[in-house]
Structure 1
Amino acid sequence: MARAPLLRVPYTDPFPSPRIIPANATTTNGAVAALVDFLAPSLFPTTTSTVPRSSLASKLDRHHRGNGKTLLLTGAGISVASGLADYRGTKGTYTLNKGYKPVYYHEFCESHEARKRYWARSFLGWTSLERARANKAHEACGELGRMGVVGGVVTQNVDSFHPTTHPHLPTTELHGYLRSLVCLTCRSEYPRSTFQSQLSALNPSWSAFLAEMLQSGALDTENPIERARRGLKANPDGDVDVPDAPYTTFRYPACPVCLEKGAVRANGKTVRVRVDSDGAWDPSSEGGVLKPAVILFGESIPLASKVQAEKAVEEADRLLVIGSSLATYSAWRLVKKAKELGMPLGVLNIGGVRGEEVFFGEEGGEGDGGKRAVRLSVSAEEVLPRVVEVFGGGLGEGGEWREGGGVGGIGGEVRCGHICIYAVQCEHVQHG
């Protein structure tokens, strides 16, 4: 039985405004220069503006050959430019929807009614979420990886944008991913897109309602302000709340593997899985429940993912946080670990961040021009592509991933014309 969490969702209130480091990085140009200096400090003893772009690329290659690299830790803020909602931004869920309460892990595992509500709301939000695509900030991360500046990514996001945009760059999906489901009994994974089709077949009235909303354009955006005008509440990860909707009527299928081969728990015990005449999961069942392959609130991060993220920090020479307020402890502890290792720290996030006084206390790293610390409150999509340009690179060049899977799956077409399917190693994303 899943244990109830002891704490509520943490840090729903805004954090204090940040202290910009260096102090002159309040403009876009200043932010770009500061970030370049932070990412490759030994290349630029004075300023980046007078160094030819071709010379930067040559120096960059020599500088990073055999050296440590920057680790990126990303959060929901990097995907806002893709049209996805975040939690604590100016238009975030906790800012505009004070009554928002996500489903907890123990609720999902133990309550049939909680699952009906969750899957009904997910059913309505999945189409627009599946259509979303990575933005220039994700592409810039990939290009910085190709150039040798960035050595890896740890992301809190579940939208799959990082592995689809830069399959060559090692990525740890700390909180899982929405593209798949996982069975709570047999641990088999199942495609979310296939599950959506089954939900549609099991719930024809809901399917018709979804079609009407899509036709009217009500789901064309995840902007919570726009959706509120249309009578909807938009929350992160494809959660659409329709006031007074009959959630109790919603049905969802059982795990197909458990139905076909029998439901066997990890301890070897066989349990009963039943479905109705249409194939919907029956509440008399003892197992066969499919859960999104993400870490729900109150759920522990798998040990393998935790260890992989910690190893990525230990092997890096500096850490840059992008689009995260670090409100979740799983992310905050990684930055704390980097700080304890004496690692240079950078934060690129609009608005405040949890525990900034811990990371940027005392002199705040300003004594060396921001080479050991940088704190910026600007758009990642605006700044990161320009950083790539300063380093002599560019987006949409060099065989980078440009089209293909988004939230719904991994895969797409590379500029060379070959089809490339990128698969995340299973041992790094186990849930339980």
Structure 2
Amino acid sequence: MRVNFLLRLQSTALQRRSVQQQYVPQHKPVFDDDIKRLEDFLLSKPNILVLTGAGISTESGIPDYRSEGVGLYARTNHKPIQHIEFLNSANVRKRYWARNFVGWPNFSATQPNGTHHALARFEREMRVQSVVTQNVDRLHTKAGSKNVVELHGSGYVVKCLSCDYRIDRHEFQNILSSLNPAFKDAPAMIRPDGDVDIPQEYIDNFQIPPCPQCSNNLKPEIVFFGDSVPKERVDLIAKMVYDSDGLLVLGSSLLVFSGYRIVLQTKDLKLPVAIVNIGETRADHLADIKISAKCGDVIPKLFDFRKNSKTTA
């Protein structure tokens, strides 16, 4: 009985890892020399700023948009929600919230991986200044990082488009559940923005509550495509770059300008930039160090005291 139980646990763990890895694009093994080179870079710059993108969350089972073969654009004809469409169309808002409602349980249950945990450890050890993330999945916070700036907001907060009303996304899920009791059996797949595909008839019947303070429309606190990052957030990040001694980019192609701008600000200050990403990025020509590899093969191995202690012994 015990053997069968252990075999089932092992099988479940293998299945979970398989699902998590299905969104990681093909990549080559990393060289030990590259890890050592990046480690030396960070040792000389203890006040480094880290910029992360969707490529660090693929290993947690959240797909990115652009990766060849496994990214959302490669697998479906789905396009992310556009800010102007959400503002102007009640049908678009209904479609978004219906899909988000169905996808939320899986999206919110996603757990951090080795890269998230390593960055949280680096922060505790004062090896990095803070993390600016382009992701809305809050996995850095789940991993224990404290100094996190969410460049594009978070899927974990809902706000009113007109007044200062805000509500936790988990609490909002309960409200949506009470209004839409017919919605059951969430699909297993998720998207980078928590969206999913569901039948049109479900969307047509989906009910969305208005803001309880002003009766206007509610929106996740996410900077949708076509929207602008709030100026105070842009200014805060610019100050963080100014106070840093360099930038480490992890898992981002930097095709979105809000992320690429941070690299440009860093280089304008004549500070170094290191990039770890599978495949090319928009800023490869600006990088002082570029490692084309999976972040999970590199970052958790940095400052690995267990490895170093074994070597010493």
Deviation at 1:150, TM superposition (A): 0.4
1:171 and 2:148 matched: yes
Deviation at 1:318, TM superposition (A): 1.1
Q: Is the 8 A contact 1:28 1:378 kept in 2?
A: no
Corresponding residue for residue 16 of structure 2: none
AA of the residue aligned to 1:121: R
- CA offsets, 1:325-375, max 9 Å, x none? 001100001101111211111001111101423x14xxxxxxxxxxxx211
Corresponding residue for residue 120 of structure 1: 98
Deviation at 1:392, TM superposition (A): 8.3
Corresponding residue for residue 41 of structure 2: 38
2: CA distance, partners of 1:327 / 1:393 = 37
Shift in alpha-carbon separation, 1:392–1:305, aligned structure 2, 3 A: farther
Corresponding residue for residue 225 of structure 2: 297
Structure number with higher relative contact order (C-alpha < 8 Å, ≥ 6 residues apart): 1
Describe the SS at the equivalent of 2:298.
helix
Deviation at 1:199, TM superposition (A): 1.4
Q: Is the 8 A contact 2:158 2:169 kept in 1?
A: yes
Deviation at 1:249, TM superposition (A): 1.7
Shift in alpha-carbon separation, 1:379–1:73, aligned structure 2, 3 A: same
1:374 and 2:302 matched: no
TM-score, length-scaled by structure 2: 0.84
Corresponding residue for residue 10 of structure 2: none
Corresponding residue for residue 326 of structure 1: 254
Shift in alpha-carbon separation, 1:130–1:378, aligned structure 2, 3 A: same
Q: Is the 8 A contact 2:119 2:145 kept in 1?
A: no
Shift in alpha-carbon separation, 1:133–1:114, aligned structure 2, 3 A: same
- CA offsets, 1:133-160, max 9 Å, x none? 1111011001111222101111111111
Corresponding residue for residue 75 of structure 2: 96
AA of the residue aligned to 2:209: P
Matches within 5 A, 1:212-231: 213=186, 218-219=187-188, 222=189
Identity of aligned residues (%): 37
AA of the residue aligned to 1:352: E
2: CA distance, partners of 1:181 / 1:145 = 28
- CA offsets, 1:9-42, max 9 Å, x none? xxxxxxxxx9xxxxxx96342331121122124x
Q: Is the 8 A contact 2:250 2:295 kept in 1?
A: yes
Matches within 5 A, 1:28-427: 28-41=31-44, 69-90=47-68, 91-97=70-76, 99-168=77-146, 170-205=147-182, 207=183, 210-211=184-185, 213=186, 218-219=187-188, 222=189, 234-242=190-198, 244-256=200-212, 258=213, 263=214, 273=215, 288-357=216-285, 359-360=286-287, 373-389=288-304
- CA offsets, 1:98-129, max 9 Å, x none? x2222211211221111100011101110101
> Aligned residue pairs: how many?
283
Deviation at 1:390, TM superposition (A): 5.2
2: CA distance, partners of 1:79 / 1:28 = 22
- Which runs of 5 or more structure 2 residues have no equivalent in the other structure? 1-26
Shift in alpha-carbon separation, 1:391–1:298, aligned structure 2, 3 A: farther
2: CA distance, partners of 1:140 / 1:167 = 9
Q: Is the 8 A contact 1:26 1:377 kept in 2?
A: no
- CA offsets, 1:242-266, max 9 Å, x none? 355542221111122x1xxxx2xxx
Describe the SS at the equivalent of 1:108.
helix
2: CA distance, partners of 1:83 / 1:237 = 13
Q: Is the 8 A contact 1:78 1:137 kept in 2?
A: yes
- Which runs of 5 or more structure 1 residues have no equivalent in the other structure? 1-17, 19-24, 42-63, 223-233, 264-272, 274-287, 361-372, 395-432
Which one has a larger percent helix, Structure 1 or Structure 2? 2
Q: Is the 8 A contact 1:28 1:383 kept in 2?
A: no
